[in-house]
DNA sequence: CAGTGGTCTAGACCACTGG
DNA sequence: CAGTGGTCTAGACCACTGG
């Protein structure tokens, strides 16, 4: 005898897999599922919670539960999704958008994005906060061919990373990790001392058709580490 | 106001991270935790369920809940071998052994190596050079159970990494990457300025039967970077 | 046997969303 | 406002483990 919550999970993934519930579509509410399956709301919730953790569903308080529009990403990539990482730690995530505009690409940026020198590209800078404390300064350049509406986004709703993944599914990424001293402007944004070290990650991401974006991510050395969950 | 189950999760991971609850150790039962935190059993369960899903705990019906004996592996860094890396770039590799002796393990080292506090362990420090320029300071501790002859090796012939892999085949590794300022001694060994940033990698390696070794690897920020290329 | 985790109920109050 | 998901309670019965 299967547990009831497992039967409900199988029924839901069945609907998703056979296409009767399409990506982004709203699915029945907790109360509706509880009634349909003749279980308590807590049992219906358990099925939804687990499918949500597995990346099949997305839930939003006050709105409902929806079929996820993308498959769960690889765990390697999740290491670099700052908003998710902070939420997973149970801390409050927030961000401040400092810049969002178009710039003309100089030679180096043109090469990195595989565009013509002088072509207009998007430029954004953001500061990401964990429980109100700045933990990442993001300096990003985006190829407008893959994300023509990048300049209109509200990154308080969806981080650049998540938005770009939705418009141009990620197929490849490339990282460089190094230790540097921050510029004065970056030190100020991160509320750290100019003489304290920063962990800098340079990241380029590809979609099937080319380079979507590259970003310089700066983290205060004493507030951010890459790797496993060990603490000493 | 944090949710109660998140407070309980943080309390538990705190005990694990500070070493007061060791791997494979039994932790309080659901009922005990519920009483300690003044919550219902379902709320205590939720904290345990999520930590179990995250790989921190292992549960067994009828037996209890235990601290997982190995941490989730960090797949972000491949095991890299500095000598090979330098040779691959076509440069001359050399190293200088600064220390090679036995020390008594203090509490932190004992926990990291999964040995009894006070047990003798090997300690070595080396500097690795690329074409005569120092690029890595290696500060390593080794469990003598897996490598009883570690103290007799000539690391100019074979790096500690390669020697250890030959006597205790590597099955797992764990990394932390961070940006720090070097101590004066390390700065001097690396011929770098005390105020320039260092990329620090803390690495633990496992063989089938347990933790073989852990090492702190310091690299001058302007002479060393970590890179990776991922395909999804 | 007493204790453990596994499942489940029928309620409750809350924060949030849209209309 | 009614409906949604988010958290939480105080019970219940079960399968399983060790002694």
One DSSP character per residue, B194-210 reads TTS-EEEEEEEEEETTE
CA of A63 to C1' of C18 (A): 8
Interface probe, candidates A47, A168, A177, A220, chain B, greatest B C-beta count within 10 A:
A177
Q: Give yes or no: residues B50 and B102 share one domain.
A: no
Cα–Cα distance between A70 and A50 in angstroms, integer? 17
CATH number for the domain harbouring residue B183: 3.40.1410.10
Q: What is the model's pLDDT at position A215?
A: 93
**pLDDT on residue A48:** 94
Could you tell me the pLDDT band of residue A174, with boundaries at 50, 70 and 90? Answer: confident
Residue-wise pLDDT tens digits, B38-75:
999 999 999 999 888 777 888 988 999 998 865 433 33
B40 touches strand D (CB under 7 A): yes
CATH code for the domain in which residue A52 is found: 1.10.10.10
Q: Specify whether B118 is located in the same domain as B177.
A: yes
User: Is residue A231 domain-resident?
Assistant: no
Q: Are B190 and B127 in contact (CB under 8 A)?
A: yes
pTM > 0.85: no
- Domain termination site, one of B45, B67, B89: B67
- For residue B197, pLDDT over 90 is answered with yes
pLDDT of res. A229: 30
Using DSSP, state whether A106 is helix, strand or coil: coil
| pLDDT for res A80 | 62
The pLDDT score that the predictor gives to residue B124 is: 96
For residue B180, being part of any structural domain is answered with: yes
Distance in angstroms, CA of B117 to C1' of D11? Answer: 46
Same domain flag for B84 and B30: no
Give the confidence band of B80 by pLDDT, cuts at 50, 70, 90. Answer: low
Instruction: Assess whether A137 and A85 both reside in one domain.
Output: yes
Buried b (16+ CB within 10 A) or exposed e, A163-202: bbbeebebeebebebbbbbbeeebbebbebeeebbbbbbb
Closest Cβ–Cβ partner in A73, A172, A228 for B175: A228
pLDDT at A218: 95
pLDDT greater than 80 at residue A27: yes
Checking if the pLDDT of A77 tops 80, the result is no
Indicate whether B62 and B169 sit together in one domain: no
- A33 has pLDDT over 60: yes
Burial class for B12, CB neighbours closer than 10 Å (0-12, 13-18, 19+): buried
Identify the band that residue A78 occupies on the pLDDT scale cut at 50, 70 and 90.
very low
Q: Flag whether B232 is in a domain.
A: no
Looking at the fold, whether B197 and B88 belong to one and the same domain comes out as yes
**Å: A34 CA to D7 C1':** 18
Q: B231 in a domain, yes or no?
A: no
Q: Would the Cβ of A59 be found within 7 angstroms of any atom in strand D?
A: yes
Whether B196 has a pLDDT exceeding 60, the answer reads yes
Mean pLDDT is lowest, of A22-31, A181-190, B222-231, for B222-231
Residues A209 and A107 both lie in one domain: yes
Q: Are residues A41 and A84 in the same domain?
A: no
Distance separating alpha carbons of residues B61 and B46, to the nearest angstrom: 16
pLDDT at A71: 46
- pLDDT given at position A227: 58
Same domain, A152 and A106: yes
Domain termination residue (choose one: A51, A67, A83): A67
- pLDDT tier for residue B228 given thresholds of 50, 70 and 90: low
* Residue A88 reports pLDDT greater than 80: no
What is the number of CB-based contacts under 8 A between chain A and chain B? Answer: 124
Is residue A49 domain-shared with residue A94, that is, in the same domain?
no
Q: For chain B, what is the domain count? A: 2
Q: How far is B127 from chain A (nearest CA, A)?
A: 19
Assigned domain for A78 exists: yes
Residue ending a domain, choose from A47, A67, A87: A67
Residues B94 and B54 in one domain: no
Mean pLDDT score of chain A:
84
- Asked whether residue A23 is assigned to any structural domain, the reply reads yes
Contacts of A170 by beta carbon, 8 Å cutoff, 6+ apart: A73, A77, A164, A205, A206, A207, A212, B232
Instruction: Tell me the residue range of the domain where A102 lies.
Output: 73-226
């Amino acid at each position: 005898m299967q547990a009831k919550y497992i039967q409900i999970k199988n029924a839901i993934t069945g609907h998703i897999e056979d296409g009767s519930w399409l990506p982004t579509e709203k699915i029945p509410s907790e109360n509706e599922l509880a009634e349909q399956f003749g279980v308590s709301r807590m049992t219906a919730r358990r099925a939804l919670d687990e499918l949500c953790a597995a990346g099949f569903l997305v839930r939003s308080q006050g709105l409902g539960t929806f079929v996820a529009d993308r498959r769960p990403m690889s765990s390697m990539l999740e290491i670099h999704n700052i908003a998710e990482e902070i939420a997973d730690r149970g801390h409050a995530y927030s961000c401040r958008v400092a810049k969002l505009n178009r710039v003309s690409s100089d030679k180096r940026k043109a090469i990195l994005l595989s565009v013509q020198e002088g072509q207009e590209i998007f430029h954004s800078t953001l500061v990401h906060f964990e429980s109100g404390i700045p933990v990442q300064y993001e300096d990003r350049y985006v190829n407008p061919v893959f994300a023509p509406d990048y300049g209109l986004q509200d990154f308080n709703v969806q981080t650049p990373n998540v938005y770009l993944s939705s418009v141009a599914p990620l197929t490849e990424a490339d990282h460089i990790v190094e230790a540097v001293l921050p510029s004065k402007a970056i030190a100020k944004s991160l509320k750290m001392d100019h003489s304290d070290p920063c962990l800098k990650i340079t990241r380029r991401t590809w979609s099937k058709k080319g380079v979507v974006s590259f970003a310089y991510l700066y983290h205060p050395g004493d507030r951010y580490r890459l790797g496993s969950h060990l603490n000493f």
